[in-house]
Structure 1
Amino acid sequence: MTPSWIALIVLAIAAAGFVLARSRALRAAAREGRRLHSLPGYYGWTAALYAALPALLLLAIWLVAQPAVTRMMVWPVLEAEASANAVPSLMMADVQRLAAGLDAAVETGRLSREAARDLPAGEMRAAMAAQGVALGSEVTSATRDAALRWRRLAGVGHLARTIAVIGLALAGAAWGVSRAAPDFRARNAVERAMRGTLISAALIAILTTVGIVLALIFNTIEFFRLYPASEFFFGTTWSPSFGGGSELGILPLLWGTLYISLIALLVAVPIGLFAAIYLAEYAHRNVRSWAKPMLEMLAGIPTIVYGLFALLTVGPLLVEAFGRGGYLGLGWMQGGTAVMTAGLVMGIMLVPFVSSLSDDIINAVPQSLRDGSLGLGATRSETIRQVVLPAALPGIVGAILLAASRAIGETMIVVLGAGAAARLSMNPFDAMTTVTAKIVSQLTGDADFSSPEALVAFALGMTLFVITLALNVVALWIVRRYREQYE
């Protein structure tokens, strides 16, 4: 039985437990002539939570643990052959695809269970091709035996999972229904369960972040065991080669990242700040009610759309203006992909980040400061320049730093608008690339993750993580200091 069907059955059991527990509590109160401690719905929710939460938690743990346990039990079949091939991960992937293909062939009626179990290794590749399953290597006897063991263990695991999860749900529902009595503090039990659920959700978010950071750290350490850290951080050439002899200097990538982000901020900060000042200080309430949502719609456009806009519209327009055959005749730009192309489009994307945050900061400035300035005879523009903006400056700086961290982490606009050349150049009309674009390119394809050329993506990611984390910490520190001063 699939996990989705199991989850639906668990929810149905929880719903039945809700109805039974609620009706049992009402009957007990009527029979004993006593008032219920809690509202009737709380007794139902107690049984529903006892049925659903432990069962769904067990299902989630089982879904994570079963593949790992199955892989560990199947690996001894492949161990002898893996020592010669030295690509155990690819072999195990073929085993899983082969097992899935056999299951699909049995379900569609192409093979019987007996035929799937007795199919020779030489005929399995053709049978998998008929199912649309692509294998990375020939099917050997060891691969065949491992796939059959995988199917057998997976079948046992699926059956055990179904019985355990549904059984736990039934037991929880029965336990919740049995506790539905007038003196049972059902509301307290529900509140404890909900508090535990919320704490668990918060812990999952924290542990996910910790897991991502640990994955970056361990793979970065592994990379620096294979490639010198001094050449990575101070090298000026980026030339990966999976055949060997790579030069993996990060400086050209950092330069491209910072250069494009700088141009984006030069576009986004003035436009976003002026828009925020207008919306906060000059716009009528009716104008603000539609202008601000329209401006913030820019933040909801997918970045791939911005990238296509840069590639198909902004790039050709810049070439017509600054290219060799352009109407300015400057010859500065050789192609549509350039730092300027990506920077302009990214700046447009960042406008709502700067404007929305700055608008909130400006509106947070106490009205008494404005009234005092106007009362002393200052005009509205003088009040904005000399009172409002200085008071809001720490918050505006924090908004700009948050927008900068967003620009540094952008990928799709850079991939489509800036090109793929890793170079150190001051010309904004040259094609360059960034750290995020190279992370994508290094992990694209059938890369061997034990090589420096693949592990370098984690070192790049760790570097980018440290930079953006520092920017975010500085921005939040500035904003918090601002709030402490003016609220």
Structure 2
Amino acid sequence: MQDINPTLLVLVTAALAMALGRLAYHFTLRRTDAITASGEELRSTPDYYGWYVLVWMFVPVLVLSLAAAALELADVVRVPGRWIAVAWVVLPLALMLPALGLVRARLNARVLVERVIYAILLAAALVSIFTTVGILLSVLFESIRFFGHPAVTVTNFLFGTDWSPGGAFLASAGRGAEQGTGASFGAVPLFAGTFMITGIAMLVAVPVGVLSAIYLSEYSAGAVRKLGKPLIEVLAGIPTVVYGFFAAITVAPLIVRAAAALGLDASYQNALAPGLIMGVMIIPFMSSLCDDVMSAVPQTLRRASYAMGATSRETIMQIVLPAAFPGIVSAFLLAVSVAIGETMIVVMAAGLTANLTANPLETMTTVTVHIVDNLTGDQAYDNPQTLSAFGLGLTLLIMTLLLNVASAIVIRRYRMRYAAD
């Protein structure tokens, strides 16, 4: 028997299920009309009775489908797709009449339906929590394998200044000694490059983004705001590879020529070029989010400030910015996360060399670049060079978590102080 096209099977099944649901909903409304016409008073609106019948028809098949998917993921049993498709039609059809028979005037359908809605919302919230826990555990277990390798020590990884894991492959093959090479996993140069490029990007994105947000929310006319904000947000839609081309082909040579004019040496793969272009890329995030939080400040606060004789500058500095400060901090954290996670611009403009230096005109690289490089090579998965990606990811995850905790404390204290004022 020829296999059915999965896409066609899903579309046909969805169409039949929706048709059954619409038919059951119609029958439910007719039944509630009959109950009302008989003189009985419904405890819920007819819509709730309709959703009550749909819950009885489709929740059981949904649970069975999720159970089948879980068993298939666990390699316990494989349920053919056509069986699941048939179940989505046959089971609701079989449950339609019993569900319609449960519709009574004394039935409080609203409570039952809202309980199901509450369960769905709770499940949606738990998905993000379980996903976060799964990411953390997967990175943690592989990091334990990495730090358990004889060539790796936690102290050298956190405080070492030499990142040269290339000898790990030869060492794992028993040829490291004869080649005279050894693996070193000092991650300080990678994190230094990450902080350097992220810092340069923030020096560009934060002032430009915040100042443009102040102009759009406080000074610009309505027509200018409607035109200017979408134009700024266009930058967010440009692919990062295009930014990388621009940084490598245009900005990096300009930096080299400008440095030469000042008597300085600059590499064509320097940290300044990707930092500047990354800052330009992040401007829409800062500008749009800061504009939103500033616009959300109540107009009554501005009017009260103007009524006391304050100027526009004083109102912005003493009223608007303090009130919007928690949102500005959140926008800053989002911008930092985008900068830390950016890879393509750094690869194209800064290269892969792990270099510990304070000179932004020299070549540098970031943690995320080496995570991608180590996971996409042709070395074995159990090789320390490959597993080092998980060690870098775990360290970056912990640092990001500490940054978020610190920022949450700052936001909470500032909110309390501003409320007290």
TM-score interval, normalised by the smaller of the two chains: 0.7 to 0.9
Matches within 5 A, 1:157-306: 161=84, 168-226=91-149, 227-241=152-166, 242-244=169-171, 245-306=182-243
Matches within 5 A, 1:351-390: 351-363=283-295, 379-385=311-317, 389=321
Displacement after TM superposition at 1:348 (Å)? 0.7
2:20/2:93 contact within 8 Å kept? no
Match in the other structure for 1:456: 388
Q: Which amino acid aligns with 1:66?
A: E
Q: Which shifted more, 406-415 or 338-347?
A: 406-415
- Distance, in Å, in 1 between the alignment partners of 2:104 and 2:301 is 61
Cα-Cα RMSD = 3.3
Displacement after TM superposition at 1:223 (Å)? 1.5
SS in 2 for 1:69: coil
Q: Quick one: which of 292, 307, 315 aligns to 2:252?
A: 315
1:22/1:40 contact within 8 Å kept? no
TM-score, normalization: structure 2? 0.81
1:180–1:316 distance in 2 versus 1, CA, 3 Å: farther
Whether 2:69 is the aligned partner of 1:63: answer yes
- Distance, in Å, in 2 between the alignment partners of 1:243 and 1:267 is 43
Q: Quick one: which of 46, 51, 66 aligns to 1:45?
A: 51
- Distance, in Å, in 2 between the alignment partners of 1:449 and 1:10 is 41
The unaligned stretches of length 5 or more in structure 2 are 172-181
SS in 1 for 2:351: coil
Count, aligned residues: 399
Displacement after TM superposition at 1:387 (Å)? 6.0
Displacement after TM superposition at 1:162 (Å)? 5.4
1:22–1:182 distance in 2 versus 1, CA, 3 Å: farther
- Distance, in Å, in 2 between the alignment partners of 1:366 and 1:38 is 39
Matches within 5 A, 1:21-100: 22-23=26-27, 26-27=30-31, 29-30=33-34, 33-35=38-40, 36-69=42-75
Percent identity between matched residues is: 44
SS in 2 for 1:180: coil
1:388–1:157 distance in 2 versus 1, CA, 3 Å: closer
- Distance, in Å, in 2 between the alignment partners of 1:387 and 1:187 is 45
Q: Which amino acid aligns with 1:59?
A: S
1:381–1:431 distance in 2 versus 1, CA, 3 Å: same
1:339/1:430 contact within 8 Å kept? yes
Q: Which amino acid aligns with 1:209?
A: T
Q: Which amino acid aligns with 2:50?
A: G
- Distance, in Å, in 1 between the alignment partners of 2:43 and 2:300 is 51
1:54–1:451 distance in 2 versus 1, CA, 3 Å: farther
Q: Which amino acid aligns with 2:24?
A: L
- Distance, in Å, in 1 between the alignment partners of 2:39 and 2:323 is 63
- Distance, in Å, in 1 between the alignment partners of 2:12 and 2:63 is 14
Q: Which shifted more, 270-279 or 452-461?
A: 270-279
SS in 2 for 1:428: coil
Displacement after TM superposition at 1:386 (Å)? 6.0
1:484–1:402 distance in 2 versus 1, CA, 3 Å: farther
Q: Quick one: which of 414, 436, 444 aligns to 2:368?
A: 436
1:18/1:48 contact within 8 Å kept? no
Displacement after TM superposition at 1:174 (Å)? 4.5
1:67–1:352 distance in 2 versus 1, CA, 3 Å: closer
1:47/1:173 contact within 8 Å kept? yes
Q: Quick one: which of 13, 17, 32 aligns to 1:13?
A: 17
Matches within 5 A, 1:328-347: 328=261, 330=263, 332-335=265-268, 337-347=269-279
SS in 2 for 1:419: coil
- Distance, in Å, in 2 between the alignment partners of 1:409 and 1:256 is 13
- Distance, in Å, in 1 between the alignment partners of 2:120 and 2:406 is 33
- Distance, in Å, in 2 between the alignment partners of 1:60 and 1:391 is 46
Q: Which amino acid aligns with 1:266?
A: L
- Distance, in Å, in 2 between the alignment partners of 1:66 and 1:373 is 64
SS in 2 for 1:243: helix
- Distance, in Å, in 2 between the alignment partners of 1:367 and 1:27 is 51
- Distance, in Å, in 1 between the alignment partners of 2:379 and 2:107 is 60
Q: Which amino acid aligns with 1:322?
A: A
Q: Which amino acid aligns with 2:72?
A: Q
- Distance, in Å, in 2 between the alignment partners of 1:24 and 1:208 is 39
Displacement after TM superposition at 1:483 (Å)? 3.8
1:58–1:247 distance in 2 versus 1, CA, 3 Å: farther
Displacement after TM superposition at 1:418 (Å)? 1.8
- Distance, in Å, in 2 between the alignment partners of 1:160 and 1:482 is 58
1:234/1:249 contact within 8 Å kept? yes
Q: Deviations over 1:18-54 (max 9, x none)?
A: 4135325524753772444444443333333333333
Q: Deviations over 1:174-198 (max 9, x none)?
A: 5423323444333333222222111
1:160–1:446 distance in 2 versus 1, CA, 3 Å: farther
1:405/1:472 contact within 8 Å kept? no
Match in the other structure for 1:348: 280
Displacement after TM superposition at 1:423 (Å)? 0.7
2:28/2:53 contact within 8 Å kept? no
Displacement after TM superposition at 1:486 (Å)? 4.0
- Distance, in Å, in 2 between the alignment partners of 1:159 and 1:270 is 57
SS in 2 for 1:420: coil
